[in-house]
Structure 1
Amino acid sequence: MSHTVPWTDGLWTNEPADAATDVDGLRVTARKGSDAWRITSYGFVHSSEHALLTPLEPESAIEVQFRLDFSEQFDQAGIFVRVDDESWIKAGVELSDGEESLGAVVTRGTSDWSLSPVPSWAGRLVTVRGSWSGNALTVRARVDDESWRLVRVAPLDAAGPVMAGPFCCAPTRAGLTVHFTSWRMTPPDAELHPSA
């Protein structure tokens, strides 16, 4: 059964500079330097992301929608799925080297990162969906009401609780405010490769 998650139901992994709700959703202002990453290539561990999380049940999906309005290197927003400090997935859109890119960071001890440019998505409504079925999280995204794109199929085989919700980070600057317009829990995708 699909349902909207109230913004007040979530708990922050790290408090943002500001978070305010109104009839249009939730506006989150990230702290400068906020990020989530573990070790790979850069050598550092960052766990200062602003993720608003509630329990994600097996055989269910999370959907988060936000307005894409980024201007500085590594501005990012989307969904965050957390098992523990060393096992988590963030997926959404990030401004990387001057271009909006759709991607994911999958972390199991160390992080791995994938990106695909989506410059035509700037200024539009982006929806990111993480569907947990069996031992995997299938991440899809779309802009406005266009078709879903497959972003990533990642291992998610957790014995303990899994938490999920919207997130944003601003690794390089102060003043990033992300307007999240919806947060929903739904049944998982029926299959990995939908028929035409």
Structure 2
Amino acid sequence: MSENPKHDVRIFDRFTWTNVPRSHAFLNDQTLLIETEPQTDFWQRTSYGFRRDNGHSLLTRVEGDFVLTARFEFSPVYLYDQCGLLVRLDEENWIKASTEYENADISRLGSVVTNLGYSDWATTDISSEIRTMHYRISRKGQDFIIESSYQGVEWMQMRMAHLHRETESLQVGVYACSPQNSSFKCQVDRLVLEEAAN
């Protein structure tokens, strides 16, 4: 799954990598493959004490309210392997939505909201047999609705959240990481970024 510049079609023309993975590929105008590197994560301080801001993310800058959706297929192999959507102001203020692998039986469908350098983590246990998930994040001012769907049709609200640092401009897109000494592969497609309806 190494990059092949001759065949890559950059489906995200306005998107740029932060912490680019060594192995990734744009298969066509719809699909991105990522293979994570070990010891990568997004987390700030809470409970565990550490700070890590080196996960792989492909982001674009947006102004104002938006709705961001994408579909993910994933094959996690080790604790906390994850991929999903990311909304980012800076290292200490951001939101992510994903499924984090726990063990062969359960994974954590959840979201992390990081405000002023402290992360939280809200989760629901789901079967680790689930390897496909759609996510949607909608912004209205400083408030966000985070949702998930198994098919991309019926959406389940995961949470409402608020970013405390006021800003008009944010970076949004997709991310993947492997916090432990491991690596896994995921696929992203059906990404849509649009203005929120009034």
Post-superposition Cα deviations, 1:114-165, rounded to whole Å, max 9, x if no partner, equal: 11012176133x1111100132011111012452110121113632520010
Residues 121, 143 of structure 1: 8 Å contact kept? no
- Mapped contact 1:132–1:156 kept (Cα < 8 A): no
Compared CA separation, residues 186 and 118, structure 1 to 2 (3 A) = farther
CA distance in 2, matches of 1:94, 1:101: 5
Q: 1:148 to 1:121 in 2, by over 3 A?
A: farther
TM-score, length-scaled by structure 2: 0.85
Give the one of 52, 56, 70 matched to 1:50. 56
For 1:175 and 1:45, how far apart are their aligned partners in 2?
20
CA distance in 2, matches of 1:75, 1:56: 27
Unaligned regions of 5+ residues in structure 1, if any? 191-196
Structure 2 unmatched ranges of 5 or more = 1-9
Asked whether the equivalents of residues 79 and 128 of structure 1 are also in contact (C-alpha less than 8 Å), the reply is yes
Indicate yes or no: 2:62 matched with 1:62.
no
Residues 69 and 122, structure 1, Cα contact 8 Å, conserved in 2:
no
Structure 1 residues 122 and 43, CA, compared in 2 at 3 Å: closer, same or farther?
Answer: same
Residues 1:130 and 2:137 aligned together: yes
- Indicate yes or no: 2:18 matched with 1:16: no
CA distance in structure 2 between the partners assigned to 1:49 and 1:148 by the alignment = 26
| Structure-2 change in CA distance of 1:13 and 1:41 (3 Å) | same
Please tell me whether the aligned partners of residues 56 and 162 of structure 1 are also in contact (alpha carbons under 8 angstroms).
yes
Matching of residue 28 in structure 1 with residue 34 in structure 2: yes
Paired amino acid for 1:132: R
**One-letter amino acid of the structure 2 residue matched with residue 179 of structure 1:** Q
Aligned pair count reads 185
CA distance in 2, matches of 1:189, 1:127: 20
Q: Which moved more, 1:5-14 or 1:96-105?
A: 5-14
Distance in 1, Cα, partners of 2:189 & 2:167: 31
The structure-2 alpha-carbon separation of the partners of 1:188 and 1:73, relative to structure 1 and needing over 3 Å to count, comes to: same
Deviates more, 1:133-142 or 1:90-99: 90-99
Tell me the distance in 2 between the aligned counterparts of 1:26 and 1:42. 32
Superposed CA offset, 1:142-192 (max 9, x none): 0124521101211136325200101001111333111112211124377xx
- Output the aligned Cα RMSD: 2.0
**Aligned equivalent of 2:102:** 96
Amino acid at match of 1:127: H
Structure-2 separation of matches of 1:9 and 1:40 = 33
Relative to the length of structure 1, the TM-score reads 0.86
Percentage of matched positions with identical amino acids: 28
2:83 partner amino acid: A
Runs of 4+ in 1 over 3 A off after TM superposition: none
8 Å CA contact retained: 1:7, 1:26: no
Instruction: Give the conservation status (yes or no) of the 8 Å contact 2:77–2:182.
Output: no
C-alpha change, 1:134 and 1:31, in structure 2 (3 Å) is same
